């Protein structure tokens, strides 16, 4: 049996840390792993809230059985149907054929398509419906697009616990402590923002609406997300962070991203950073887009107000990896950033020209005049970066 951790007297965390998978959803790097969290409430009635990813499943089912200690499982609540949480559903049904599987009307379609054998057990709830377990009284909130259409959250009125699905979840396997009591917020804040910006950020309008509605209607003492720590000590801070991110609020600071073949555009990035620093901007992050995965860059862009994009020209266009980054930014729909552009070229340009097209498409406020240098970049040519750097300083400070 895997160990379990008590969130409270009757509420158990049953999860798994995955440090083996390289790419979450086969796209997002997991340098520090990820956790999949499931929760079991052992009350007069028993309920399992979501399952975990089968690839990390191991002895998950046995742990559920052992923690139930001879009781049957009365309910399985599906807050989220994505397979990193739903893939053990069938095994639960085969062990507990009488279990009622709870979801909303949007859960039925993916449930039918992935686990048709479960439909006979399926029970639909609506927004505001209650489930009385004895001591614990659960209330359901439908929160579409956080992060799939069927997503919902379950709130335990008795102890103020919000079972939040992906919301407030984080990349990064747990580092010993499941509860946040003995956890440093800093690491998980960065990985929670990377999770938010890349997985949920596209649906920020829905996230903002859901978070403000929940915060005004219920007292949230503990947040049990499907990834990362259980938030209790930092619950208020985590709610505040989500509110900020979902409203595109950002901190003073600039993210400089450059694509460079022979180092000239890279030199411009360094010079711009130097001038920004001279102008009083303290938080400056520089990324070589050929080296850093877009998920980390986008997470930083979600944090800071200023973005400077620089690209070498490549066959009359911007550099392919910069193009990929720009497409991802457009896809996620990040809003309200200040944008500066720069680049270098050897033939007839194309890097900055196409970055300008991106600027028009994304609709961010462009600062200064794009700085574009022909041929080698040296101290005689840096001058034209000065005006651009000053414009960014004026926009941020």
Candidates 82-90, 108-116, 128-136, 295-303; binding stretch for ligand FEO (CB under 6 A): 82-90
Tell me: does residue 80 bind ligand FEO (CB under 6 A): yes
Tell me: does residue 381 bind ligand FEO (CB under 6 A): no
Which C-beta is closer to ligand FEO: that of 16 or that of 226?
Answer: 226
Burial of 283 (0-12, 13-18, 19+ CB in 10 A): middle
Tell me: does residue 86 bind ligand FEO (CB under 6 A): no
Of 226, 241, 325, 332, the residue at the interface with ligand FEO (CB under 6 A) is: 226
Candidates 54-62, 77-85, 174-182, 305-313; binding stretch for ligand FEO (CB under 6 A): 77-85
Looking only at residues 103 through 122 of this chain, which bind ligand FEO when binding is defined by CB under 6 A?
none
Instruction: List, as one string, the DSSP characters of 89-152.
Output: HHHHHHH-TTPEEEE-TTTHHHHHHH-GGGGGGEEE--TT-EEE-SS-EEEEEE-TTSSSTT-E
Which C-beta is closer to ligand FEO: that of 37 or that of 46?
Answer: 37
Candidates 78-86, 129-137, 319-327, 389-397; binding stretch for ligand FEO (CB under 6 A): 78-86
Distance of alpha carbon 99 from alpha carbon 106, whole angstroms: 20
311 contacts 332 by C-beta, under 8 angstroms: no
Distance of alpha carbon 48 from alpha carbon 77, whole angstroms: 6
Residue 252 to residues 258, 285, 338, Cα–Cα distance (Å): 20, 12, 11
Of 147, 193, 293, 381, the residue at the interface with ligand FEO (CB under 6 A) is: 147
CA contacts within 13 A on the Cβ side of 346: 10
Tell me: does residue 191 bind ligand FEO (CB under 6 A): no
Tell me: does residue 84 bind ligand FEO (CB under 6 A): yes
The sign of the CA dihedral 4, 170, 110, 154 is positive
Q: What torsion do the CA atoms of 48, 24, 81, 177 make, to the nearest 10 degrees? A: 20
Q: How many chain residues touch ligand FEO (CB under 6 A)?
A: 9
Which C-beta is closer to ligand FEO: that of 227 or that of 287?
Answer: 227
Least separation in angstroms between CB 360 and ligand FEO: 32
Candidates 79-87, 134-142, 238-246, 318-326; binding stretch for ligand FEO (CB under 6 A): 79-87
Distance of alpha carbon 172 from alpha carbon 190, whole angstroms: 10
Which C-beta is closer to ligand FEO: that of 96 or that of 168?
Answer: 168
328 contacts 360 by C-beta, under 8 angstroms: no
Residue facing ligand FEO at closest CB distance: 82
Looking only at residues 241 through 280 of this chain, which bind ligand FEO when binding is defined by CB under 6 A?
none
Which C-beta is closer to ligand FEO: that of 82 or that of 180?
Answer: 82
- Closest to 213 (Cα-Cα) out of 144, 165, 159: 144
> Which positions ≥6 away from 102 have C-beta within 8 Å?
75, 76, 77, 78, 123, 125, 131, 140
Least separation in angstroms between CB 53 and ligand FEO: 8
Structure tokens that stand for 179 in this block:
């509860």
Of 50, 82, 156, 372, the residue at the interface with ligand FEO (CB under 6 A) is: 82
Of 50, 166, 300, 372, the residue at the interface with ligand FEO (CB under 6 A) is: 166
What is the binding site for ligand FEO (CB under 6 A)? 80, 82, 84-85, 147-148, 166, 226-227
């Amino acid at each position: 049996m895997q160990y379990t951790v008590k969130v409270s007297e009757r509420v158990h965390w049953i999860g798994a840390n995955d440090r083996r998978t390289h790419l979450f959803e086969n796209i997002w790097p997991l340098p520090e792993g990820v956790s999949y969290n499931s929760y079991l409430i052992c009350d007069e009635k028993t309920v399992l809230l979501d399952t975990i990813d089968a690839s990390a499943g191991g002895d998950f089912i046995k742990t559920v059985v052992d923690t139930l200690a001879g009781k049957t499982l009365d309910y399985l609540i599906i807050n989220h149907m994505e397979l990193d949480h739903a893939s053990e559903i069938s095994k639960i049904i085969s062990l507990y054929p009488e279990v009622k599987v709870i979801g909303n009307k949007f859960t039925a379609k993916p449930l039918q398509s992935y686990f048709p054998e479960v439909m006979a057990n399926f029970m639909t709830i609506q927004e505001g419906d209650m489930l009385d377990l004895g001591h614990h009284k659960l209330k359901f909130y439908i929160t579409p697009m956080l992060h799939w259409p069927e997503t919902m959250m379950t709130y335990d009125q008795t102890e103020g616990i919000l079972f939040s699905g992906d919301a407030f979840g984080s990349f990064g396997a747990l580092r010993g402590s499941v509860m946040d009591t003995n956890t440093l917020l800093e690491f998980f804040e960065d990985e929670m923002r990377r999770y938010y910006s890349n997985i949920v950020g596209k649906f920020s309008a829905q996230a903002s609406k859901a978070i403000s509605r929940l915060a005004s209607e219920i007292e949230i003492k503990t947040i049990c997300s499907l990834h990362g720590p259980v938030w209790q000590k930092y619950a208020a801070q985590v709610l505040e962070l989500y509110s900020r991110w979902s409203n595109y609020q950002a901190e003073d600071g600039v993210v400089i991203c450059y694509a460079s073949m022979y180092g000239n555009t890279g030199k411009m990035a360094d010079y711009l950073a130097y001038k920004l620093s001279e102008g009083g901007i303290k938080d400056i992050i520089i990324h070589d887009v050929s080296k850093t995965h877009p998920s980390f860059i986008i997470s930083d862009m979600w944090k800071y107000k200023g973005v400077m994009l620089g690209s070498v020209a490549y066959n009359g266009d911007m550099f392919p990896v910069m193009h990929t980054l720009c497409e991802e930014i457009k896809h996620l729909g990040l809003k309200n950033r200040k944008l500066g552009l720069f680049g270098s070229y050897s033939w007839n340009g194309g890097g900055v020209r196409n970055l300008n097209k991106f600027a028009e498409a994304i609709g961010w406020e462009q600062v200064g005049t794009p700085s574009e240098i022909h041929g080698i970049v040296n101290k005689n040519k840096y001058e034209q970066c000065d005006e651009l750097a000053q414009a960014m300083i004026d926009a941020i400070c």
